[in-house]
């Protein structure tokens, strides 16, 4: 039997029923980008809200304002990847627009939702200290309580690069701590 034959479709109500039966108090929309299944995520979030099951969306932030505003009422928390503070990096490496992600972050903050931001730090790609400090100042201007996760990168699939040195993670951690209260290092042992 192939793994595809083992897959089972679960309705939005089925997700809530599983949570209630198992005592789960949270649903996370993540892996892969959850905006690609927006309608399903929205339907699940609406039902979760009615049952006091908390929800979090982990996203690249490349969502238009109209669907975000529709969703934000039903989402309890967000973790948004802010991959760089360089528009060229966003366009070339991510295939997206930094301004869209910034608008998403600003909308989440405006609606007083819990926000965590994650940056995957890649040596030689998005490790410009001045740009990073500007990113931290930007986040701080929105709210000092925004949580920032600095994640160590490991080469995978088509991305061929050096594993992010711990020294670089620690340097960026120190920069971020000058501006934000809640900074964490990730993907380290």
Global confidence as pTM: 0.93
Helix (H) or strand (E) holding 121: strand 114-121
Q: Which of 10, 33, 178, 47 is nearest to 104 (CA)?
A: 33
Element (H, E) at 80: strand 77-81
The superfamily (CATH) of domain 86-113+121-189 is: Aldolase class I (3.20.20.70)
CA-to-CA distance for 158 and 49, rounded, in angstroms? 39
In a structure prediction context, what are the per-residue pLDDT tens digits for the chain, which is 189 residues long?
Answer: 455 567 788 999 999 999 999 999 999 999 889 999 999 999 999 999 999 999 999 999 999 999 999 999 999 999 999 999 999 999 998 889 999 999 999 999 999 999 999 999 999 999 999 999 999 999 999 998 899 999 998 887 777 778 899 999 999 999 999 999 999 999 887
Sign of the dihedral defined by the CA atoms of residues 151, 109, 97, 63, in that order: positive
Of 138, 134, 163, 168, nearest in space to 150 by CA: 168
Pure H helices in the chain: 3-6, 12-22, 38-50, 65-72, 87-89, 98-110, 129-142, 166-177
């Amino acid at each position: 039997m192939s793994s595809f034959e083992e897959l089972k479709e679960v309705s939005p109500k089925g997700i809530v029923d599983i949570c209630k039966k198992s005592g789960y108090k949270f649903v996370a929309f993540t892996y892969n980008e959850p905006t690609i299944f927006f309608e399903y995520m929205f339907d699940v979030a609406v039902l979760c809200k009615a049952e006091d099951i908390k929800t979090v969306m982990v996203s690249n932030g490349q969502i238009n304002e109209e669907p975000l505003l529709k969703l934000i009422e039903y989402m309890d928390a967000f973790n948004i990847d802010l991959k760089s503070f360089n528009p060229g990096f966003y366009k070339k490496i991510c295939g997206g627009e930094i301004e869209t992600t910034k608008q998403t972050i600003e909308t989440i903050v405006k609606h007083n939702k819990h926000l965590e931001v994650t940056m995957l730090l890649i040596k030689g790609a998005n490790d410009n200290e001045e740009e990073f400090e500007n990113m931290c100042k930007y986040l701080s201007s929105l709210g000092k309580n925004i949580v920032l996760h600095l994640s160590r990168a490991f080469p995978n699939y088509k991305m061929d690069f050096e594993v992010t040195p711990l020294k670089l993670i620690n340097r960026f951690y120190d920069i971020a701590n000058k501006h934000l209260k809640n900074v964490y290092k990730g993907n380290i042992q």
